[in-house]
Amino acid sequence: MPRKRPGQVRAGQHLRDQLTYRPRIHGLSSAAHAEVSRVETSRNYLHVGDTADAVRMWRDLVHNPYRRLWIEYEDGGCGVWQCCGSPFKARKLLEAVILGMSRLRARELRSLVDQLDELY
Protein backbone atom coordinates (compact mmCIF):
# COMPACT_ATOMS: atom_id res chain seq x y z
CA MET A 1 0.00 0.00 0.00
CA PRO A 2 1.49 3.39 -0.95
CA ARG A 3 2.18 5.84 1.80
CA LYS A 4 1.26 9.51 1.91
CA ARG A 5 3.81 12.14 1.05
CA PRO A 6 5.05 14.26 3.98
CA GLY A 7 3.41 17.37 2.54
CA GLN A 8 0.01 15.66 2.52
CA VAL A 9 0.45 14.58 6.13
CA ARG A 10 1.40 18.11 7.25
CA ALA A 11 -1.53 19.61 5.33
CA GLY A 12 -3.91 17.30 7.16
CA GLN A 13 -2.45 18.24 10.52
CA HIS A 14 -2.93 21.95 9.84
CA LEU A 15 -6.57 21.36 8.94
CA ARG A 16 -7.05 19.28 12.08
CA ASP A 17 -5.60 22.10 14.21
CA GLN A 18 -8.10 24.53 12.70
CA LEU A 19 -11.01 22.19 13.36
CA THR A 20 -10.08 21.75 17.03
CA TYR A 21 -10.18 25.46 17.87
CA ARG A 22 -11.16 26.06 21.46
CA PRO A 23 -12.23 29.47 22.77
CA ARG A 24 -9.94 30.87 25.46
CA ILE A 25 -11.05 31.76 28.98
CA HIS A 26 -8.99 34.67 30.28
CA GLY A 27 -7.34 33.86 33.58
CA LEU A 28 -6.84 30.10 33.05
CA SER A 29 -3.59 28.30 32.34
CA SER A 30 -3.10 26.12 29.29
CA ALA A 31 -3.30 23.00 31.47
CA ALA A 32 -6.67 24.14 32.80
CA HIS A 33 -7.85 24.78 29.23
CA ALA A 34 -6.83 21.25 28.31
CA GLU A 35 -8.80 19.94 31.27
CA VAL A 36 -11.86 21.98 30.25
CA SER A 37 -11.58 20.59 26.72
CA ARG A 38 -11.39 17.05 28.12
CA VAL A 39 -14.53 17.59 30.18
CA GLU A 40 -16.39 19.18 27.26
CA THR A 41 -15.62 16.28 24.94
CA SER A 42 -16.32 13.56 27.50
CA ARG A 43 -19.77 14.80 28.58
CA ASN A 44 -22.72 14.36 26.24
CA TYR A 45 -24.50 17.49 27.52
CA LEU A 46 -21.56 19.81 26.68
CA HIS A 47 -20.29 21.10 23.36
CA VAL A 48 -16.98 22.68 22.44
CA GLY A 49 -16.88 26.22 23.82
CA ASP A 50 -19.83 25.90 26.20
CA THR A 51 -17.65 26.63 29.22
CA ALA A 52 -16.20 29.77 27.65
CA ASP A 53 -19.71 30.92 26.74
CA ALA A 54 -20.91 30.23 30.29
CA VAL A 55 -18.05 32.26 31.78
CA ARG A 56 -18.80 35.10 29.37
CA MET A 57 -22.53 35.07 30.23
CA TRP A 58 -21.89 34.98 33.98
CA ARG A 59 -19.27 37.73 33.71
CA ASP A 60 -21.61 39.90 31.63
CA LEU A 61 -24.42 39.54 34.17
CA VAL A 62 -22.16 40.27 37.13
CA HIS A 63 -20.70 43.39 35.55
CA ASN A 64 -24.09 44.65 34.37
CA PRO A 65 -25.34 47.46 36.66
CA TYR A 66 -28.95 46.38 36.05
CA ARG A 67 -28.35 42.72 36.97
CA ARG A 68 -31.07 42.74 39.62
CA LEU A 69 -33.63 43.61 36.95
CA TRP A 70 -32.70 40.69 34.66
CA ILE A 71 -35.70 38.54 33.76
CA GLU A 72 -35.91 35.31 31.83
CA TYR A 73 -38.30 35.47 28.93
CA GLU A 74 -40.94 32.75 28.77
CA ASP A 75 -40.51 32.18 25.04
CA GLY A 76 -36.75 31.68 25.46
CA GLY A 77 -35.73 34.52 23.18
CA CYS A 78 -34.18 33.54 19.87
CA GLY A 79 -33.42 29.98 21.01
CA VAL A 80 -29.65 30.25 20.68
CA TRP A 81 -28.04 29.54 24.05
CA GLN A 82 -24.97 31.70 23.38
CA CYS A 83 -27.19 34.69 22.62
CA CYS A 84 -30.27 34.47 24.84
CA GLY A 85 -29.30 31.82 27.37
CA SER A 86 -29.85 32.19 31.09
CA PRO A 87 -26.78 33.30 33.04
CA PHE A 88 -28.06 31.31 36.02
CA LYS A 89 -28.07 28.14 33.92
CA ALA A 90 -24.59 29.13 32.77
CA ARG A 91 -23.50 29.32 36.43
CA LYS A 92 -24.88 25.81 37.03
CA LEU A 93 -23.02 24.58 33.95
CA LEU A 94 -19.80 26.07 35.33
CA GLU A 95 -20.35 24.17 38.57
CA ALA A 96 -20.82 20.93 36.62
CA VAL A 97 -17.60 21.53 34.69
CA ILE A 98 -15.70 22.28 37.90
CA LEU A 99 -16.92 19.03 39.43
CA GLY A 100 -15.77 17.12 36.34
CA MET A 101 -12.25 18.54 36.40
CA SER A 102 -9.26 17.32 38.38
CA ARG A 103 -8.79 18.97 41.76
CA LEU A 104 -5.72 21.02 40.85
CA ARG A 105 -7.13 22.44 37.60
CA ALA A 106 -10.60 22.92 39.03
CA ARG A 107 -9.07 25.23 41.62
CA GLU A 108 -8.15 27.71 38.87
CA LEU A 109 -11.64 27.81 37.39
CA ARG A 110 -13.18 27.85 40.87
CA SER A 111 -11.15 30.93 41.86
CA LEU A 112 -12.23 32.70 38.66
CA VAL A 113 -15.91 31.89 39.28
CA ASP A 114 -15.65 32.76 42.99
CA GLN A 115 -14.34 36.23 42.12
CA LEU A 116 -17.38 36.77 39.92
CA ASP A 117 -19.70 35.38 42.61
CA GLU A 118 -18.37 37.89 45.11
CA LEU A 119 -19.20 40.73 42.76
CA TYR A 120 -22.72 39.40 42.32
Question: How far from each other are the two terminal CA atoms of the chain, in whole angstroms?
Answer: 62
pLDDT tens, residue by residue, 80-102: 766 777 888 899 999 999 999 99
Whether 20 and 34 have beta carbons less than 8 Å apart is answered as no
E-strand stretches of 1-120: none
What are the pLDDT digits (tens) for 40-82? Answer: 988 888 888 899 999 999 998 888 877 666 666 666 566 676 6
pTM, 2 dp: 0.74
Three-state secondary structure call for residue 2: coil
